[in-house]
Structure 1
Amino acid sequence: MGNLDRLVPAGIIEQWVFHLRRQRSRAMDAIWLMDQGYTVHDGRNGVPIDDVTERARKEQETVIAEVNDLLALYDGINLGTAD
């Protein structure tokens, strides 16, 4: 497909970055709740079946790590330090 140079308006980039930061904040809040003793359960018809707190925690930790990587890339591009 080749390299395509496309200009994305700065306003759209800022919206993406805002969304990423919000997702990271929500993931951090979810982990904080789990640290306070809240649990996450899979269930059916409102009846909890399996405790999936550890799986949910790992998913939130992955979100935080991926967002941190993307924001580091964004900052590197803006500061002129990206490869």
Structure 2
Amino acid sequence: MGEIERLVPSGIIDQWVFHLRRQRSRAQDAIWLLDQGFSIHDGRDGVALSDASERYRREHQTVIDEVNTLLELYDRINLRTSEYIAVETNKARRSTDPRI
């Protein structure tokens, strides 16, 4: 099956990137709080049943890692250094072209 080319307006892409950066910031803040001694507990009716701090730390670290990967891809595409950018087609040479 062939690949479908879809054009997404740059404004929408910018909104996604803004959202990803916000999610990464929130995850970094949560990890910082855990590093400062705060803890997160699973519980019921306001009663703590078990410490869930390590699980939350792993989940937030996963968010950070995945967002970093997506933002690196975004930057490579926008900086035109990505293998995902199609090679620009060779334009016809003109008589004023210095490569002739």
- Shorter-chain TM band: over 0.9
Partner AA of 2:18 in structure 1: F
Percent sequence identity is 67
Partner of 2:28: 28
Following the alignment from structure 1 to structure 2, what is the Cα–Cα distance between the partners of residues 66 and 48? Answer: 30
* Bigger share in helix: 1
- The residue matched to 2:62 in structure 1 has which SS? helix
Scaled by the length of structure 2, the TM-score of the pair is 0.81
TM-score scaled to structure 1, two decimals? 0.97
Name 1:48's counterpart in structure 2: 48
Structure 2: gaps of 5 or more residues: 84-100
Q: Tell me which stretches of 4 or more aligned residues in structure 1 moved more than 4 Å.
A: none
CA drift of 1:77 comes to 0.2
Aligned length in residues: 83
Where does structure 1 lack aligned partners over 5 or more consecutive residues? Answer: none
Name the Cα RMSD after superposition: 0.7
Higher relative contact order (CA 8 A, sep 6+): 1
1:24-82 Cα deviation digits (max 9, x unpaired)? 00000000000010001001111110101011001100000000000000000000111
Q: What is the CA distance between 1:2 and its match in structure 2?
A: 2.7
Q: How does 1:1-83 map to 2 (within 5 A)?
A: 1-83=1-83
Which protein is bigger by CA-based radius of gyration? Answer: 2
